[in-house]
Structure 1
């Protein structure tokens, strides 16, 4: 799939990846969007230019018009990562907390991890301005997704990432340091400063997207200027463990938390004692309730925000509801007896019917004279091909009446970059939302959806100060001598967090999105189109929250050392060459699995999603000349046929034979083999060597010396989940399914998601299997079984559980080290079993971050770990011994 298509689909996949939310999305919960993706955006730009200049345009393919259902695809990606961790049932709260305790109790190996991606990552790097990159879009330096922001008037800024913890800047942004590494959850839901200057952290990202991880509760940092978060400063007991927290609000001496399990409150004066459940619309679905084991339980008590009147803290409005719709969705307030009642009238323009109240964000002015709200509508999400946004609203009191001050059409007409790409503002309003009011002006508001919008007159007029990107504007140019042509820098897309603070006496707005943190003066400048001219990326490399799915390593034949690359959530493919001080991005969109030639790090293949594979043999270095000459492109689309038919998983498996780097294995419904290595130029060069069967898709593949292992699931969700292993040869002979007990009996491979193989390079019949999910202690589903690592010495015919003292935590991948040891990547770090031993040790002391893939460097002396929230780390293999 070409990059310009990927540029279009960057919007849709930003929310995809993988959900550790511990339950799969219930059937029918996702919306039904019908907007096609259409032709590649940049190819269209090139075609328009060609009409006037006679230039040659890049050739379009069938993939360029791969009509699709956007919201269904978002939901499907979310389902698939959740399936890996939940199927065949649901998982009880506390699983990750227990696993973290067990992991930290393990003995540790020697050595320590080194972060190699803690340097700037330039998404506009002109070295990689190839057809498949997003270079020149205007996002500049990026890092991983930021879920929440906070800032004070002393120049301190706090950024809460999706999976890499909380970070502090003492200089108005930049020069960051992590301050939550000692916590058992590195997933941020909310950050808030109270009147006493304390920093409150609600863990568990609450964007209901694919790779949101559950939290371990709420924590307070009394001295945020100097201290770090500690488990000793958790507020209350374990009531909010294994929830997500959307917002923390203060009023009447209490902190209120809008969580995935209702609305809770706690005294801000006394941090001990239990949280009080203020309201849950469906309490029977809460943990311990009669319906707690229902597959839809996690979607029955979602709270999004709380509005509290500072003049009368007893006046509280709750915004409650699942973004795809449920009967309980709505706004609630207390009656004279203290009972919570749904608001059904007197609210003005802000809807009160369940169909039109979804994800909601409130904001109020510092003087309490103005309130604002964003409302995402389930009905719009399910039926409107343009947007899921119901509107933005204003009121003098949280009780209303509310007046609509913007809808998606108005925002689209005020300088949005989305309209020329075929979308409308709010297309992902269930995922992208923030709202804040300038403390010095009740009419000055910043709103975040996919883009950043600003109004200075209370909503009468709006400007798109942070457009989605610059590609469709007349100021844009592919010129590699310029970062964004004649356009100004913008922010990364997909907004989540916002704060206003002061530094050296000047006010700034700080926004957090899928590309990290950006700032501009609160009263900044705009061009004639209403686009800001003064955004600054604060992703200076000292903050590394990059969310990798994969890693690839090869010798750098040009600069020496090694070239390291990896696929990222919504930040394309990063590449770090041997002499680099700044990483570049040679492929855009999302990055999935990665292959790199150990002998030449510029020979690499990158999967986008669903087996959409691109290959390059020069690191995708290009001067931009492809825009006028299609033959100048240096990357090629080589997707096997399962990509076009949709019969591959969102992040589909891709591997090279251990003994022959020119033989590649890819898995969808079919097991695909191609033998041209990095010289492949067409998807037609793949050969299907085995059909797993209708409804089945590969979850892991591996090969050594022509022997191929393939794991699959089908169905892959809780309804009838099934898994299996197929074994055969790369030449298409000898294929057969391994007989696995359907129920995952004790000592056998569990009936859970099979996530990775590690083949002994000395013996292709000796193979290890990593198993995801949680054992039956936590999982209420048929055949959940026990164990996470299994071994076969007879080519996969029989398996033995070798988990021993391994914590009960999802295992993602494994690698056999040169000394015969075994390293395993888990959702909470890396473990190692030395050769001849049966017990596991913890490798180093990574924070509580998911490690999705392990790879060995070209000489086998270094282990590389792709984390989903803290970048790529390395450790010497000998230090694991």
Structure 2
């Protein structure tokens, strides 16, 4: 039992660090903001995550050892510290290309900007740490190791709020290096970028000692973030992007930092210093410079003039790597993923095959299959299927964009799932019509751009992440959160506040964001606003609200009166990220409060059973990670799901105890958790790895009862006879998320594995066993059990087909041996039976028709009868072929032992081969039939593959054709029977008289193969 990843990948996600290898143009690594480290060995055609089982997912820097490409260093903690940035836990090293990792300390640095490996000595590494972006930190600065990370020495420290923005090393004289020192700290409502101690520092002894560079053309006074690059072809040439009060963007030194001159004031080169600030130089031309910012820009005159390039790429770039031996080969990383060029930027490739989307929230509808809708950081909002009903998974094209910008919330309208409510920053609320593709703005209040620079004067304030909710009792009623709760009963045409200001309304926090050097008003720091609105499904008029300054508010009369029910004892100004009322028990609710913006990473999680009058802390035993999302189960009143910053947890006792399940979810932040109530699926929106679904929660919901019983067969949910379809020949390098296995999901629990894997039987309505799931099947060249035998939860999929026919062992290729599975069953009532734990357990199972199908029950029965008769005939034919092959082979062998019977046995062999040739053309390759006519088997194979088992009734022409094939088969089988009755029987009698064994026979074995997947509770180990 494991989560499945469904994407989307077409929008990418924030890539923070990219690196390639000079002498292997197919090898690249990239680090992402919340999705770990990825590796490609085929030039980006496909990527593999190589950091999933480490403690953190935020990556600041990736470096490959120039002496050994299998040695990779990773500094964790992204250093583009926008509002959704998350922290790391130090530095890691892999010696085998990312297969395994060793944690090498620097845990408290939190955010590492650069890692520089000495090209002369792989054990000497310098790391530049920004340090904790949310608190004063003595761990900021430059660290150096000479023993491969066993020990570190801090060689440069300026102050508790100033760390390293970037390191740059002279590639010809690696003892010379430069460090940008940057004062930065973020609060929930603003951030500081710039300080008096900031600037450029230089080392001439490999980072052992440092000297500050001042004056001589550098900007005077306070500076902020600094980006640095040394020109490899002329290492005396150093470029610096410097945030300062001095009008200017890019400075240059031609004497290794002794003197500097301002080259450009063009903001194209660097737009938002705190978020971008990287510059790169062509390895072979010191005048050829790239600005890595909101746009990629290029200068060919040493930084005097720049032009925008790569304008087809997603904006907001964070890194650019240029191959040292081929300056035309580059990889760029930014908010939209990665892109590779082989021609100096004339053309860029991005296969949209990396699911590292940073989702804020997920919504769903109740269709069959249901759709999910997500809002992504800087990558729009999308809706897509939970099951694409395609054999190749859920490809990028299955997703539909519903909003631009930074999407946050996205919910299908409960009365019309083709209307999707979605919002982006500053409360920009829209309804997207999936039918007409039209977007309608329904925002309750619009402020001018100038007003956002004075948020304290706004009539209404909206969070970056403003919540949308629907009333479960009045389906036409929508709620939207500002600093008040808005209500609309006419799909956003009109709104009315149903509350006063529910926040602390601290005016000192309602200020323009940024400073002291530059303001940055995007709405990301908007505060004194509502983060979550959760109407209770158990009690009409009950609405819970969480605010971004730590309050929990409750109304029990539809908004007429509100009560502050904030858990006591929580320090102020945390973020009440999620307030989740129980869908089963009135008055029960759970809340997560996040204080990491204030440097406090403790998980604050609380539960109430009396409408917020009293709260119980329920975070005991959890790691020091801020709590993001919480959701009670929809069927088990004591089961609760919890998402922390880097892990996922569940509790079976209302939060008194927590366990970290092994369900295949990678290390990443869980920002939203939902249970789709009709399908009983768990949906987790991660902020760094896209969307994950755990299908059919029944085994988890009933796990306590299963553990008490020792063995349990869980009741399977209704299985649908979906018809799958794909539009092309394959995915090639394109991404596809996972569909649920097509068929009936069967799960059982074993306290202790049995001596042998159990067998499962599928029974029809009369109690007859029509499918036996047992034995092994070949997977990637290995025999694996069809039914697993793990301690814990086991889950397999029945493909809704009967037992397979006899297969012809003598076919030239495995795929020519015949069908592995039998005829698709008719929609109706079935049962699952398994013998485990010393008992035989049975559960009913309903198979339903594809909801898109127009066939009647009678159509399904007629199609089944037709397909069944021809599958039976196919089985009889292949059994006959197996016998004929055995007769021919054994006749030749017996003739050697009984030469007196050689003539008779030779005739038997000849006749067996003649009949074999009448039954089958015995093709060797796919297009042999173009030059040779089919025989009976090939014609019958066509009949079994016409798809009548899916419910289509055969036409008159098909029936007439089938009649001719049936007649030919009947005649041939009569001849086979006569051959066996006369020729084989006579030969056997002669052999027995001579004291020799009779002719061998074969052909009774049927196939027992399951379609779909087998998984256990340790499937990700």
Match of 2:259 among 395, 401, 404: 401
Contact 2:237–2:254 under 8 Å retained in 1: yes
Structure 1 unaligned spans of 5+: 1-110, 122-141, 286-299, 385-389, 412-424, 468-489, 526-533, 623-632, 717-722, 781-785
Structure 2 contact 237–252 (Cα < 8 Å) conserved? yes
Which of 293, 298, 302 lines up with 1:454 in the alignment? 298
SS at match of 1:880: helix
Q: Are 2:198 and 1:329 equivalent residues in the alignment? A: yes
- Residue 274, structure 1, aligned to residue 274, structure 2: no
Residue 770 of structure 1: aligned partner: 592
Give per-residue Cα distances to partners, 1:48-77, cap 9 Å, x unaligned.
Answer: xxxxxxxxxxxxxxxxxxxxxxxxxxxxxx
> Is the Cα–Cα contact under 8 Å of residues 77 and 88 in structure 2 kept in the other structure?
yes
Residue 698 (structure 1) aligns with: 530
Closer, same or farther in 2 for the Cα pair 1:648/1:601, shift >3 Å? same
Q: 1:727 to 1:158 in 2, by over 3 A?
A: same
Tell me the SS of whatever aligns to 1:576.
strand
**Alpha-carbon deviations, 1:746-803, whole Å to 9, x = none?**
xxx9984322122222343222222334799x949xxxxx873322222222222344
The one of 854, 858, 863 aligned to 2:673:
854
Q: Is 1:768–1:791's contact at 8 Å kept on the other side of the alignment?
A: yes
Q: Distance in 2 between matches of 1:837 and 1:317?
A: 50
Q: Secondary structure at the match of 1:359?
A: strand
Give the corresponding residue for 1:832: 650
TM-score, normalised with respect to structure 1: 0.66
**SS of corresponding position for 1:304:** strand
Residues in 2 aligned to 1:338 and 1:228: alpha-carbon distance in whole angstroms: 32
| Corresponding residue number in structure 2 for 1:260 | 130
1:10-29 matches, within 5 Å, as none
Counterpart CA distance in 2 for 1:436 and 1:335 is 21
1:550 has 2:361 as partner: yes
Distance verdict in 2 for CA 1:394–1:773, change over 3 Å = closer
In structure 2, the partner of 1:655 is 469
Tell me: CA distance 1:218–1:809, structure 2 relative to 1, closer, same or farther (3 Å). Answer: closer
Where in structure 2 are there 5+ consecutive unaligned residues?
Answer: 132-139, 185-192, 389-393, 453-457, 507-527, 702-1021
- SS of 1:116's equivalent in the other structure is strand
- With over 3 angstroms needed to count, the CA separation of the structure-2 counterparts of 1:371 and 1:599, relative to structure 1, is farther
> Relative to structure 1, is the Cα distance of residues 766 and 650 closer, same or farther in structure 2, using a 3 angstrom cutoff?
same
For residues 460 and 795 of structure 1, what CA distance do their matches in structure 2 show?
65
Q: Show CA shifts across 1:542-566 (max 9, x none).
A: x21100000111145xxx5122111
The residue aligned with 2:911 is none
Partner of 1:572: 380
The equivalent residue for 2:61 is 190
1:824, distance to aligned residue in structure 2 (A): 1.9
C-alpha distance in structure 2 between counterparts of 1:707 and 1:792, whole Å: 18
The question of whether the paired residues in 1 share the 8 Å contact of 2:358 and 2:688 is answered with yes
| TM-score of the pair, normalised by structure 2 | 0.57
1:707 counterpart SS class: coil
| Rounded Cα–Cα distance in structure 1 between residues aligned with 2:402 and 2:38 | 27
Indicate if the aligned counterparts of 2:52 and 2:667 stay in contact, CA closer than 8 A: yes
What are the equivalent positions in structure 2 for 1:480-499 lying under 5 Å apart? Answer: 490-499=312-321
Report the counterpart of residue 519 of structure 1 in structure 2.
340
Aligned residue in 2 for 1:665 = 479
**Distance change (3 Å), C-alpha of 1:228 and 1:660:** farther
Q: Distance in 2 between matches of 1:306 and 1:673?
A: 52
CA distance in 2, matches of 1:510, 1:576: 29
- Residue aligning to 1:466: 310
Deviation at 1:854, TM superposition (A): 0.8
Q: Verify the 8 A CA contact 2:57 2:646 in the aligned structure 1.
A: no
From 805, 817, 820, the equivalent of 2:633 is 817
- With over 3 angstroms needed to count, the CA separation of the structure-2 counterparts of 1:675 and 1:826, relative to structure 1, is farther
- The aligned counterpart of 2:608 is 792
Q: 1:547 to 1:406 in 2, by over 3 A?
A: same
- Give the number of aligned pairs: 632
Distance 1:334-1:432 versus aligned 2 partners, 3 A rule? closer
Distance in 1 between residues matched to 2:145 and 2:625, nearest whole Å? 34
Pick the aligned partner of 1:304 from 162, 165, 168. Answer: 165
2: CA distance, partners of 1:621 / 1:870:
31
Residue 552 (structure 2) aligned to one of 692, 700, 725: 725
Match of 2:231 in 1: 365
1:440-495: per-residue Cα shift (whole Å, max 9, x none)?
A: 4333332211111123343355331123xxxxxxxxxxxxxxxxxxxxxx111111
Q: Equivalent of 2:580, from 751, 758, 762? A: 758
For 1:519 and 1:379, the matched residues in 2 are separated by 35
Q: How far 1:189 moved relative to its partner?
A: 0.7
Separation in 1, partners of 2:42, 2:417: 37
Is the Cα–Cα contact under 8 Å of residues 481 and 530 in structure 2 kept in the other structure?
Answer: yes
> For 2:689, what is the secondary structure of its paired residue?
coil
Deviates more, 1:314-323 or 1:844-853: 314-323
1:137 is matched with: none
2:13 to 141, 144, 156: 144
1:329-383 deviations in Å (ceiling 9; x for gaps) = 112246999864432244xx4x15342x322222233344453423232326xxx
**Distance of 1:620 and 1:598 partners within structure 2:** 16
Q: Secondary structure at the match of 2:611?
A: coil
User: Paired residue for 1:23?
Assistant: none
1:326 CA drift (Å): 0.9
- Deviation of the 1:864 alpha carbon: 0.6
Q: Secondary structure at the match of 2:476?
A: strand
Contact 1:328 1:354 in 2 (8 A): no
Q: Which moved more, 1:510-519 or 1:391-400?
A: 391-400
Larger mean CA deviation between 367-376 and 242-251 belongs to 367-376
Query: CA–CA distance in 2 between the matches of 1:621 and 1:728?
Result: 37
**Shift in alpha-carbon separation, 1:506–1:309, aligned structure 2, 3 A:** closer
1:184, distance to aligned residue in structure 2 (A): 1.0
1:637 lines up with 2:450 in the alignment: no
Q: Check 1:370–1:598 CA distance in 2 against 1; reply closer, same or farther (3 A cut).
A: farther
Change in 2 beyond 3 A, CA 1:857/1:710: closer
RMSD: 3.2
Q: For the residues of structure 2 that align with 1:638 and 1:272, how far apart are their CA atoms? A: 53
CA contact (8 A) 1:674 1:687 kept: no
CA distance in 1, matches of 2:208, 2:552: 57
| 597 and 321 in structure 1: CA distance in 2 versus 1, 3 angstrom threshold | same
Report deviation, 1:113: 0.9
Higher normalized contact order (CA 8 Å, seq sep 6+, divided by chain length):
1
1:736 is the counterpart of 2:557: no
User: SS of 2:668's equivalent?
Assistant: coil
How far apart are residue 575 of structure 1 and its match? Answer: 1.7
Structure 2 SS opposite 1:592: coil
Structure 1 residue 259, shift from structure 2 partner = 1.1
Distance 1:333 1:460, change over 3 A: closer
2 CA distance for matches of 1:591 and 1:259? Answer: 31
1:112 aligns to what? 2
Cross-structure match for 1:584: 400
Aligned mates of 1:228, 1:830 — CA distance in 2: 23
Larger radius of gyration: 2
Q: Map of 1:209-228 to 2, 5 A cutoff? A: 209-224=82-97, 227-228=98-99
Quickly say closer, same or farther: Cα 1:149–1:685, change in 2 above 3 A. same
Q: Structure 2 CA distance, aligned partners of 1:790 and 1:639?
A: 32
3-state SS in 2 of match to 1:241: helix
